[in-house]
Chain A
Amino acid sequence: MLLFFTFRIKINFYNFVTLIYLEMNYIKKHTIDELADLAISIRKDVVRALKVAGSGHLGGSLGLADVFTVLYFNRMRHNPDNPAWPDRDRLILSIGHVAPVFYTALAHAGYFPIDELQTLRKLGSRLQGHPGRDHHLPGIELSAGSLGQGLSVAVGMALAAKMDNADWKVYTIHGDGELQEGSIWEAAMSAAHHKLDSLIALVDSNKVQIDGRVSDVMEIEPLAEKWRSFGWAVFECDGNSIGGLVETYQKAEKISGKPSVIIAHTLMGKGVKSIEGDYRWHGRAPNAKESEDFIREIEG
């Protein structure tokens, strides 16, 4: 009886500690070296998942692996054991087609088992082709995939945080081609008008889209000037440099009175030398042979 009682106290003490841990101890900030290793693992798992899926977007997913690694393992305040934590930072993926790298980052962070990545795009999977909250995968803030909508939703979230005097941030990820959607600029105007400094957008500037070079399809330059004229703080960095991303995010997070945007120069297919910069890999998945080669290239 006494033993049982002691045991109960221990459990309660453990629960108490767990509770504190859940509320306070979110994912630790990884070092640059740890982040670099993680980015390699994430790239390999992206290739594996796409091979099994047989379709999906490889190029953009590899190009954004460093951004996702930095966000989920260094910048964002979040807790995979408590995905609905009200004070978590939010990530809005406006370009739902890079779901493979998003899911892989979530799995590595501990939101769900890494094995589940093998169900990508399959019937009944929680890993939909574009993120869908109706399939209940933990860690997804928004069902998205129709381009040009994510920034507006992020503005709504940042407005809510401001009304509640909450200190959580909203990070968004956009494509450069996506900026051709007019609704992006409606949202950009409103974020500056309402002085939403908790909002930090990132543009995956890989200079390509499905039809070819962004500059041939529909020029979006001068991009930094556009954002600046809309009232945003603008930063540029090498989007495939982990150190550069960490440093740039730190600067953007300190901005007050206006939203920030990071124009991250990335390489589509980054990490797999033989396909880097090749826009034909925007919407393709590797076959078994290619997948083996790509993983070897990623391992270097």
Chain B
Amino acid sequence: MEIYLDKGNKSTKSGFGEGVLEAGRKNKNVVGIGADITTSVGMNLFADIFPERFVSLGIAEQNCVGVAAGLALSGKVPVFSTYGVFAALRATDQIRISLCYNDVHVVIGGAHAGISVGPDGATHQALEDIAMMRVLPNMTVISPCDATQAKIATERAILELNGPVYIRFGREAVPDFTDNDQDFKIGKGQLLADGTDVTIAATGHMVWEALEACRLLKEENISARVINIHTIKPIDEEIILKAAKETGAIVTAEEHQIYGGFGSAVAEVLVKNNPVPMEFVGMPDCFGESGKPEELMQKYGLIAINIVDKVKQVMKRK
């Protein structure tokens, strides 16, 4: 099993910001769109260096998405970022018609993803964005696991993809453990730890928790495979089906509602091909609340020991 080391804590938000800046350096058509919280979503890095390519539109998410579509239809590569709750949910109709139906290349950064936003409470915790975005035709949905991956994913999404893209990231500093030269392909999952008894398929911040769970399980002689599904749409069916076949049980882990989210996407793949026992770690169909990030992750069952519990449950059903 590969050992993943925490290189130090860093937010996936900062990875996003660095990725936008890097893409902006490489392509002069990249344009940033700000909705008042530019620094808070990491876009200040780009805005400071390329002020002539940064458009401030105020607190008006629906307009931001429409404007992004207009810029894209005129040869620009717009990147629009605000909190995921507002980007993905308030402007959903604009994303559906102006972006997805027109199939224009716009990258939307959904910030403050998950409950780990903490004290701001339920209104600002994006826990439904994956479900809302993955149901839209033409949309690509990306959920990187750490800051390094967030930077790579953002840069690639801006420079190499076509069509609309939603990329989600968190505010909290979390373990940064993947390499700059990692094998990262949008649409391809990553095998982080091999195992034979069970598979933990995780996305976003939960990937680190999955690796922690894997370590804990090893002490109890349970061999868990860990796969990082950073691209939720299009999902990597191959790596999921291989895991189902070789380990016979799957636990999914996401910082998002269980209904309609990443776990559902994995279940859709399994049900039509090889339905193996499955358990879900995620928000149990409820709103979050205020608290420290670690307190909330614990209260709502989103840490390594919760994954361990689900692994034990699913293995009984094998």
Contacts and interface: CB of A to CB of B under 8 A. Distances in A.
Contacts of A146: 93, 96-97
A156 B93 contact: no
Q: Chain A interface secondary structure, helix, strand, loop or mixed?
A: helix
B67 A189 contact: no
A193 B55 CA distance: 11
A143 B97 contact: yes
Given A187-B63, A194-B55, A152 B97 contact: no
A36 interface: no
A119 interface: no
Interface residues of A, number: 34
B103 A152 contact: no
B40 interface: no
B147 to A, nearest CB: 30
Contact of B70 (A132, A133, A154, A164): A154
Interface stretch (B6-14, B71-79, B107-115, B245-253): B71-79
Residue of A133, A153, A164, A194 ringed by the most chain B CB atoms within 10 A: A153
A186 B90 CA distance: 13
B70 A143 contact: no
Residue of A148, A159, A182 ringed by the most chain B CB atoms within 10 A: A159
A143 B73 CA distance: 11
A268 B71 CA distance: 33
A47 B102 CA distance: 28
Interface string A165-180: 0000000000000000
B73 A141 contact: yes
Given A152-B94, A161-B74, A163-B31, A142 B102 contact: yes
B76 A163 contact: yes
A70 interface: no
Contacts of A148: 62
B71 A160 contact: yes
B60 interface: yes
A245 interface: no
Contacts of B71: 156-157, 159-160
Contacts of A152: 62-67, 69-70, 94, 98
A187 B66 contact: yes
B225 to A, nearest CB: 40
B73 A190 contact: no
B58 interface: yes
A50 interface: no
Contact of A133 (B60, B93, B102): B102
A153 B70 contact: yes
Contacts of A161: 74
Given A186-B60, A190-B63, A160 B70 contact: yes
A144 B94 CA distance: 10
A230 to B, nearest CB: 13
Contact of A163 (B52, B93, B97): B52
Contacts of A157: 70-71, 73-74
Nearest to B98: A149
Contacts of B57: 190
A134 B101 contact: yes
Given A150-B66, A156-B72, A157-B73, 14 more contacts: A134-B101, A142-B102, A143-B101, A144-B98, A148-B62, A152-B94, A152-B98, A154-B70, A155-B70, A163-B76, A183-B62, A183-B94, A186-B63, A189-B60
Interface of A: 86, 132-134, 141-146, 148-161, 163-164, 182-183, 186-187, 189-190, 193-194
